[in-house]
């Protein structure tokens, strides 16, 4: 049970630390344009900087086109994390709708949906992605998000359906039914808030799997396309560059590893404590610094206002 | 407004109620089999029986809320204020639930949603049934909590269930049930999970509220002490059937069915403290494993061949007092007379 033990004395410490790590990685990705020393696509010096090992000027080295790998890893993280996080949001959203609907409808609908999910789960996801990406050619990022998101929600839907069925059997749900609450109200008030712990535990794990999936596609040349940087495309550059250029695979690989491990630890132990504090509705997605998904509360944009613009009103400048 | 005894039709009339669950070999198992009873406005009827005899299922069926995969069989009738409930579309039935007829649950620990404040949960019922703003609904919820004896209701309403004692939670559940002023309250073992002093308080509260509002009260319990204290009439259930019914005094003074006699004999008494308690041998068989004929004959000291041959009908003992036993059949009663 105590897989977080290496991180701290209690599981809680490990989980909190993992969320911090995820937050820092997300922040690094979000602020990549300000943090990266060079533009990710700039070919700085095709001859002098061709596949150079790490140095003070280029801590992560340079690639075959004389591009700064640190800058590419930062920018690549932006793309990889954004694509993965949005794909997870899409997938979890669809999974929640389908799972809750199946459980709330019950009976034949429930059985039908579950059989369909089992069939869908039997088809290897990577195969679907490779076929779709191979057939329709290189996919734009938005389509990639949809394709990855829509191909990986079946297991989550099944878990949501199971959990929902259990929750709908609770006494307080029957009690609410007995007071005349209809199904939509039951779902909104008595089901969704209780699904939050499950979903927040599944989301990071799902993120880890999706990131690996995205990088895998990039590696196969089916995901984000070069010259745009993503962790997958940098890995691909590393493979083409040959075994000597270890910095091209180690650094993006390490970045991915950090995110994946942190995501698993974060998802490991997340239970009841968060449920107690919730009132109505579902929580705001926790991945900080990502482009705000549609439907996020407006104040999410406010806090993401450009840091450079000082809040000076015109009147205060008047003489 | 309903006036007690003004109309001959009872407030709630349950007739030939049968609830079945799918069993092995596609043979449905009847957990409730032909239950019939009535509740008048202003009357307290106690539904009594051991665990597993179909009491709670009967209560849920009265609201059309039998849990899946149970089904209320065709021919069952639940008439509430002259309206056939089981024939109503679900939407109209839902409009009645919590509004005109309400249910209080057995388990105050689990019947409240742990992540919503108790005031919120009472106000919710108002919002479901009345066009009320959040503020109005909240005010009505607080007033109702006050009325069911929650002290400092305005502050309590903002608390979560885990912050309240069992007795207070049961009061919250009662407030949820009564906030719309129902004509009938069904209370399923409302005091089972509470300790004795709190039990007495909750029962007293139910009695006061019934007297104040003139509502009918269907009280489900296995506690004959509660029955003696609360009931006008008693309906005894065994194996999904009504085996005896009658006014509380008559039934306690002269129980006609051997099962009722057994139940009464199994009660500890203060006047004969040293006498050993009588127990009914055996246990209630699971639905579907009831013996042929009279379902109680396996455990009955008076069983005869007739009991295995045919299930007895509800025979009249005295007017208003009936028992499902061959021993009280007119022929047997004639012989005894």
How many whole angstroms separate alpha carbon A55 and alpha carbon B9?
A: 95
Q: Which residues of A touch B59 (CB under 8 A)?
A: none
Place of tokens 């639905």: B287
Average pLDDT, integer, range A128-143: 84
pTM score, whole prediction? 0.75
Nearest to A179 among B67, B97, B114 (CB): B97
DSSP state of B319: T
Three-state DSSP state, B205: helix
Interface mutation vs chain B, best among A180, A198, A273, A277, most B CBs within 10 Å: A180
Least confident piece of the model among A226-235, A288-297, B27-36, B256-265: A288-297
Q: Which residues of B touch A174 (CB under 8 A)?
A: 60, 65, 67, 105, 111
Place of tokens 């009535």: B38
How many whole angstroms separate alpha carbon A2 and alpha carbon A6?
A: 8
pLDDT of residue A288: 35
pLDDT of residue A46: 73
Instruction: Say which residues have a Cβ less than 8 Å from residue B244's Cβ, sequence separation at least 6.
Output: B234, B235, B236, B251, B255, B256, B257, B259, B260, B321, B322, B323, B324, B325
Q: Which residues of A touch B176 (CB under 8 A)?
A: 175, 179
CB contact under 8 A, A171 and B103: no
Percent pLDDT > 70 in chain A is 80
pLDDT of residue B180: 92
Nearest CA in chain A to B106: A171
Instruction: Say which residues have a Cβ less than 8 Å from residue B276's Cβ, sequence separation at least 6.
Output: none
Average pLDDT, integer, range B154-163: 93
Place of tokens 């009279």: B294
pLDDT higher than threshold 60 for residue B333 = no
Q: State the DSSP H helix or E strand holding residue B77, giving kind and residue range, or none if neither.
A: strand B77-80
Distances (CA, A) of B251 to A28, B237, B279: 79, 13, 19
pLDDT higher than threshold 60 for residue A275 = no
Q: At what angle do helices A192-219 and A154-168 cross, to 10 degrees?
A: 170
At A97-131, the pLDDT tens digits run 999 999 998 888 999 999 999 999 998 888 888 88
Nearest to A276 among B94, B115, B129 (CB): B115
At B45-87, the pLDDT tens digits run 999 988 878 888 999 899 888 887 888 998 999 999 989 999 9
Three-state DSSP state, B298: helix
Closest CA to A251 of A233, A231, A236, A237: A231
Least confident piece of the model among A8-12, A35-39, A63-67, A168-172: A8-12
Distances (CA, A) of A270 to A2, A317, B71, B144: 13, 50, 39, 37
How many whole angstroms separate alpha carbon B4 and alpha carbon B297?
A: 39
A222 is written with which tokens?
């089916």
Pairwise pLDDT comparison (A71 vs A273), residue with the higher score: A71
pLDDT higher than threshold 80 for residue A65 = yes
> Nearest CA of chain A to the CA of B265: how many Å?
34
How many whole angstroms separate alpha carbon A187 and alpha carbon B130?
A: 20
pLDDT of residue B190: 85
pLDDT higher than threshold 70 for residue B186 = yes
At B4-34, the pLDDT tens digits run 444 568 899 999 999 998 877 777 888 898 8
Q: State the DSSP H helix or E strand holding residue A182, giving kind and residue range, or none if neither.
A: none
Buried b (16+ CB within 10 A) or exposed e, B276-296: eeeebeeebeebeebbebbbb
How many whole angstroms separate alpha carbon B241 and alpha carbon B33?
A: 6
> Nearest CA of chain A to the CA of B94: how many Å?
5
Arithmetic mean of pLDDT over chain B: 87
pLDDT higher than threshold 70 for residue A214 = yes
pLDDT higher than threshold 90 for residue A58 = no
Q: Do the Cβ atoms of A135 and A219 come closer than 8 Å?
A: no
pLDDT of residue B144: 92
Pairwise pLDDT comparison (B125 vs B304), residue with the higher score: B125
pLDDT higher than threshold 90 for residue A242 = no
Q: Do the Cβ atoms of A264 and A203 come closer than 8 Å?
A: no
What ipTM was reported for this prediction?
0.81
**Pairs across A and B, CB distance < 8 A:** 75
CB contact under 8 A, A179 and B116: no
């Amino acid at each position: 049970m105590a897989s977080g033990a290496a991180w701290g004395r209690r599981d809680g410490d490990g989980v909190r630390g993992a969320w911090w790590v995820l937050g820092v990685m997300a922040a690094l990705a979000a602020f990549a344009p300000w943090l990266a020393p060079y533009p990710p696509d700039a070919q700085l010096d095709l001859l002098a900087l061709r596949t150079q090992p790490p140095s003070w000027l280029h801590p992560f080295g340079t690639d075959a086109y004389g591009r700064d790998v640190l800058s590419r890893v930062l920018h690549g993280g932006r793309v990889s994390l954004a694509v993965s996080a949005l794909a997870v949001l899409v997938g979890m959203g669809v999974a929640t709708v389908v799972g809750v609907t199946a459980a709330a409808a019950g009976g034949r609908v429930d059985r039908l949906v579950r059989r369909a999910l089992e069939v869908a789960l039997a088809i290897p996801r990577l195969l679907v992605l490779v076929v779709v990406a191979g057939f329709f050619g290189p996919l734009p990022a938005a389509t990639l998000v949809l394709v990855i998101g829509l191909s990986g929600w079946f297991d989550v839907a099944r878990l949501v359906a199971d959990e929902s069925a259990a929750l709908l059997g609770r006494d307080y749900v029957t009690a609410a039914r007995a007071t005349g609450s209809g199904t939509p109200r039951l779902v909104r008030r008595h089901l969704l808030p209780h699904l939050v712990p499950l979903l927040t535990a599944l989301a990071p794990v799902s993120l880890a799997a999706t990131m690996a999936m995205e990088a895998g596609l990039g590696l196969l040349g089916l995901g984000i396309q070069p010259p745009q940087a993503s962790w997958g495309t940098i890995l691909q550059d590393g493979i083409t560059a040959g075994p000597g250029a270890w910095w091209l695979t180690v650094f993006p690989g390490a970045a991915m590893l950090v995110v994946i491990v942190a995501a698993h630890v974060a998802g490991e132990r997340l239970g009841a404590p968060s449920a107690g504090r919730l009132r109505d509705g579902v929580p705001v997605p926790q991945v900080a610094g990502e482009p705000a998904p549609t439907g996020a509360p407006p104040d999410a944009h406010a806090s993401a206002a450009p840091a450079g613009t000082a809040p000076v009103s015109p009147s205060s400048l008047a003489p | 407004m309903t006036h007690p005894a003004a109309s001959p039709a009872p407030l709630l009339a349950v007739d030939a109620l049968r609830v079945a669950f799918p069993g092995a070999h596609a043979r449905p198992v009847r957990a409730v089999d032909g239950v019939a009873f009535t509740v008048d406005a202003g009357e307290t009827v106690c539904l009594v029986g051991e665990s597993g005899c179909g009491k709670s299922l009967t209560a849920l069926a009265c609201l059309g809320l039998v849990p899946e995969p149970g089904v209320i069989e065709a021919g069952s009738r639940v008439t509430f204020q002259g309206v056939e409930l089981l024939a109503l579309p679900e939407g109209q039935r839902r409009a009645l639930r919590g509004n005109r007829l309400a249910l209080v649950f057995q388990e105050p620990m689990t019947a409240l949603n742990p992540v919503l404040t108790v005031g919120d949960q009472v106000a919710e019922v108002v919002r479901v049934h009345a066009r009320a703003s959040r503020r109005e609904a909240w005010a009505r919820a607080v007033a109702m909590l006050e009325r069911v004896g929650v002290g400092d209701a305005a502050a309590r309403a903002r608390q979560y269930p885990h912050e309240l004692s069992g007795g207070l939670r049961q009061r919250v559940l009662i407030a949820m049930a009564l906030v719309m002023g129902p004509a009938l309250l069904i209370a399923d073992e409302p005091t089972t999970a509470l300790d004795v002093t709190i039990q007495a308080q909750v029962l007293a509260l139910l009695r006061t509220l019934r007297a104040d509002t003139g509502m009918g009260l269907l009280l489900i319990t296995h506690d004959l002490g509660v029955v003696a204290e609360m009931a006008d009439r008693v309906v005894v259930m065994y194996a999904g059937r009504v085996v005896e019914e009658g006014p509380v005094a008559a039934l306690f003074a002269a129980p006609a069915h051997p099962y009722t006699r057994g139940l009464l004999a199994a009660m500890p008494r203060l006047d004969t403290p040293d006498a050993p308690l009588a127990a009914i041998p055996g246990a209630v068989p699971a639905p579907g494993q009831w013996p042929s004929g009279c379902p109680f004959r396996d455990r009955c000291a008076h069983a005869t061949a007739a009991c295995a041959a045919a299930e007895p009908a509800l025979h009249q003992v005295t007017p208003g007092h009936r028992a499902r036993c061959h021993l009280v059949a007119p022929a047997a009663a004639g012989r005894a007379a």
